[in-house]
Amino acid sequence: MEGDCRFNNGNIRAKKRVAQAKQILDTIGIGGERVQMYNLSSAEGPKFAQYAVEMTHKIEELGPNPLKKAKAKMAA
Amino acid sequence: MSESKTPSKLEKILSSGHLAVTSECGPPRGSDPETIRKKAEMIKDHVDAINITDNQTSVTRLCSLASCIHLKLMGLEPVLQMVVRDRNRIALQSDILGAASFDIHNILCLSGDHQKFGDNPQAQNVFDIDSMQLIQMVRLMRDEGKFLGGDDIVRPPKMFVGAAANPFADPFEIRVPRLAKKVAAGAEFIQTQCIYNVERFKEWMRGVVDRGLHEKVYILAGVTPFKSAGMAKYMKNRVPGMDVPDELVKRMSGVPKEKQPEEGLKICVETIQQLKEVEGVSGFHIMAIEWEEKVPEIVDASGLYPRPKVDD
Amino acid sequence: MIVAEKKPIEEIIEEVEGYKKILIAGCNECVTVCEAGGKKEVQVLASALRMYFMNQGKDVKIDEVTLERQCDHEYLEEIRNIIDQYDAVVSLACGVGVQFMAEKYFSTPVLPGVNTCFMGVTEERGIWTERCQGCGQCILARTAGICPVSRCAKRLLNGPCGGSTKGKCEIDPNVDCAWQLIIDRLKALGRLEQDYEKLTPIKDWSTDRAGGPRKVVREDVRI
């Protein structure tokens, strides 16, 4: 859980870096919603599955990475 | 104290042993001199000299120098307030000569509020010299007739030099040494920040008297009447370097809104009466910003009217 | 060290408008320490720009290099052989490095990738504060090692002013009043009484920015 990191501040630092990455992705037009951070312990299998499903649905809604389309267009 | 060194009427009143009374006017945010003239008319018979603030709180206004000239042309005694925030040593010396050319004989040397508080927070600031160095500079110009650069001044300024003191600012422990420093730099009169906490002021004055500073510099105690309980609260909580005791806020809040201005004036007069008894106080500086019309009433009720006449 | 801050990516995108071959050049010294323009920041910026341009359908080549410093000839020389491959450089060095690179590679546009802020210290990771403004006549011996020129908002040499409140400056409750710091330290050194009342004379600002662009020469090390 947040703060309960085996590496002390590790997950706090990661949270801030993920926030930074989201911001950059928003600025350059890719979309910060494509990266997400969840906190859980290795014992919480079902929760992991739940988050994975949640994220999958979200990505399906957002569609493929816009860079894929752009790359294809440029190759053509 | 000593005899007058300048033609300043304020200095003459102080050196003759009278309690002096000064007040201040804020210039308009435009070029109409009528505002200044009107304010000055209201108070002229009840004060010995009138301070004109210099872009106070860094809000751009008609300059202090021009306003002082308007007062001088009315036959009144101005005190030119000069901050070091906006002008370098060249401009400061130049403006001092400008004032002297109109025979303005009083100057108050100040640092100035930081420009972030005003209407141009993006402006550069100057601070070429600080307020203590300005005091030294005016004394040099007057007593030695020299520019800072060493050249002689033709018709040197004859100015009575003042500075501000805030007995309530932090850190308290150096507030008396700071006054001593200003005296050593050449300050001849002091106008203090407005006083509400008379006990704390007395404590400062004890330190001042202990060092004999009251014999080297005339101290004018600052007072400001509360217009409302809201103003009292604002000054207590939002103005740095201001000490407003709880009892005064309670007193103001304890009367109905229409009665608050009257109560504020009462407190002001009571404060003056208490301060009259404090050793080392040579007069009063009444700051009633945007309430100048009450100054005559305050001076009257404090037993300070009529003002003494001195030969010009 | 010199402390700088990353420019917003939107601003850099505007700066490089129209260029097709861009070199992002970082610096291994000050801007690395303040995490604004070192190798890591070069990588992140380059990656972000590549993604941006690709998303826009624009074919822009973005390369990366990080030099030891950009304020010495020998390190800037290291890119002499490759500079002509690019039609612009975005330098993440401080303003000094950007300019030196621009002087050296006269016909290549060199654009700034950071805003250079001040000379200061790392108080803790993520917080840098100003300490020196390079006035050219250091008075730290008189002020117990605390500089009123850089740390007093009004650069008072005989402070504090009446706006000092509870040890903080009137401009911001998070900014220390330099004169409170000086007084505290003079007290700790047992020198408050003798030093506080000494009047500091008017400063000679001719060695400061006011005197014009400055130069230091050591004849004894020149040949």
Residues B9-24, mean pLDDT to the nearest whole number = 96
Above pLDDT 70, what percent of chain B? 99
Residue C36, classed as helix, strand or coil, is coil
The model's confidence at residue C163, banded by pLDDT at 50, 70 and 90, is confident
Per-residue pLDDT at B1 exceeds 60: no
Q: Looking at the complex, does the CB of residue B193 fall below 8 Å from at least one CB of chain C?
A: yes
Q: Looking at the complex, does the CB of residue B130 fall below 8 Å from at least one CB of chain C?
A: yes
Per-residue pLDDT at C176 exceeds 80: yes
Kind of pairing between the strands at C114-124 and C2-6: antiparallel
Q: According to the model, what pLDDT value does residue B100 have?
A: 98
Residues 6 or more apart whose CB falls under 8 angstroms from that of B244 comprise: B196, B197, B232, B235, B236
Per-residue pLDDT at B4 exceeds 90: no
- For residue range C114-132, list pLDDT tens digits in order: 999 999 999 999 999 999 9
Q: According to the model, what pLDDT value does residue C27 have?
A: 98
Chains A and B, touching by 3 or more CB pairs within 8 angstroms? no
Are C177 and C160 in contact by the 8 Å Cβ rule? The answer is: yes
Please tell me the distance in Å from A49's CA to the nearest CA on chain C. Answer: 30
Q: According to the model, what pLDDT value does residue A42 have?
A: 83
- For residue range C18-44, list pLDDT tens digits in order: 999 999 999 999 999 999 999 999 999
Q: Looking at the complex, does the CB of residue B170 fall below 8 Å from at least one CB of chain C?
A: yes
The model's confidence at residue A3, banded by pLDDT at 50, 70 and 90, is low
On chain B, the residues whose CB falls within 8 A of the CB of C157 are: 130, 132-133
Q: Name the CATH superfamily for C2-118.
A: Diphthamide synthesis DPH1/DPH2 domain 1 (3.40.50.11840)
Residues 6 or more apart whose CB falls under 8 angstroms from that of C99 comprise: none
Are B47 and B22 in contact by the 8 Å Cβ rule? The answer is: yes
Instruction: Choose among C163, C197, C203: nearest Cβ to B181.
Output: C197
Q: According to the model, what pLDDT value does residue B312 have?
A: 57
Q: Classify each residue of B215-234 as buried b or exposed e, where b means 16 or more C-beta atoms within 10 Å of its C-beta.
A: ebbbbbbbbbbbbebebbee
Its ipTM equals 0.91
On chain B, the residues whose CB falls within 8 A of the CB of C197 are: 177, 180-181, 184
The one-letter amino acid code at C136 reads G
Which alpha helices (H) appear in chain B, and where do they start and end? 9-15, 34-43, 64-73, 89-101, 131-139, 175-185, 198-210, 229-238, 246-253, 260-276, 295-301
Ranges of each domain in chain C:
2-118, 134-210
Above pLDDT 90, what percent of chain A? 63
A30/C55 touch (CB, cutoff 8 Å), yes or no: yes
Q: According to the model, what pLDDT value does residue C167 have?
A: 93
Per-residue pLDDT at B304 exceeds 80: yes
Q: Looking at the complex, does the CB of residue B87 fall below 8 Å from at least one CB of chain C?
A: no
Q: Looking at the complex, does the CB of residue B256 fall below 8 Å from at least one CB of chain C?
A: no
Q: Looking at the complex, does the CB of residue C14 fall below 8 Å from at least one CB of chain A?
A: no
Strand order in the sheet with C114-124: C2-6, C114-124, C127-132
Query: B88 or A76: which carries more pLDDT confidence?
Result: B88
Q: Looking at the complex, does the CB of residue C9 fall below 8 Å from at least one CB of chain A?
A: yes
Number of residues assigned to chain C: 223
Per-residue pLDDT at B15 exceeds 80: yes
Residues B45-66, mean pLDDT to the nearest whole number = 96
Are B10 and B307 in contact by the 8 Å Cβ rule? The answer is: no
Instruction: Read off the pTM.
Output: 0.92
Q: According to the model, what pLDDT value does residue A8 have?
A: 79
Per-residue pLDDT at B262 exceeds 80: yes
Residue in B closest to C179 by C-alpha = B171
**Residues facing B146 on adjacent strands:** B152
C160/B171 touch (CB, cutoff 8 Å), yes or no: yes
Lookup: tokens for C73: 């000839």
The mean pLDDT value of chain B amounts to 95
Q: According to the model, what pLDDT value does residue A10 have?
A: 86
Are C170 and C163 in contact by the 8 Å Cβ rule? The answer is: yes
A28/C8 touch (CB, cutoff 8 Å), yes or no: no
Q: Classify each residue of C49-72 as buried b or exposed e, where b means 16 or more C-beta atoms within 10 Å of its C-beta.
A: bbbbbbbeeeebebeeebbebbbe
Q: According to the model, what pLDDT value does residue A5 have?
A: 75
Please state which CATH number belongs to domain B9-301: 3.20.20.220
Tell me the three-class secondary structure of B51-92, residue by residue: EECCCHHHCCCCCHHHHHHHHHHCCCCEEEEEECCCCCHHHH
Q: Which chains touch B (3 or more CB pairs under 8 A)?
A: C
Burial tier of C43 (Cβ tally within 10 Å: 0-12, 13-18, 19+): middle
- For residue range B91-102, list pLDDT tens digits in order: 999 999 999 999
Q: According to the model, what pLDDT value does residue B2 have?
A: 61
On chain A, the residues whose CB falls within 8 A of the CB of C51 are: 28, 30, 67
Q: According to the model, what pLDDT value does residue B190 have?
A: 98
The model's confidence at residue B69, banded by pLDDT at 50, 70 and 90, is very high
On chain A, the residues whose CB falls within 8 A of the CB of C54 are: 67, 70-71, 74
Cα–Cα distance, B230 to C101 (Å, whole number): 59
C163/B240 touch (CB, cutoff 8 Å), yes or no: yes
Instruction: Choose among A24, A27, A67: nearest Cβ to C54.
Output: A67
Ranges of each domain in chain B:
9-301
Q: Which chains touch A (3 or more CB pairs under 8 A)?
A: C
Which alpha helices (H) appear in B128-192, and where do they start and end? 131-139, 175-185
| Strands annotated E in C59-178 | 61-67, 88-91, 110-112, 114-124, 127-132, 168-169, 172-176
Please tell me the distance in Å from A66's CA to the nearest CA on chain C. Answer: 7
Cα–Cα distance, C195 to C188 (Å, whole number): 12
On chain C, the residues whose CB falls within 8 A of the CB of B204 are: none
Q: According to the model, what pLDDT value does residue B289 have?
A: 79
Query: B1 or B296: which carries more pLDDT confidence?
Result: B296
Q: According to the model, what pLDDT value does residue B44 have?
A: 94
Per-residue pLDDT at C12 exceeds 90: yes
Cα–Cα distance, C111 to C7 (Å, whole number): 11
Residue C72's region, left for phi above 0, alpha for psi from -120 to 50, else beta, is beta
Q: According to the model, what pLDDT value does residue B83 have?
A: 97
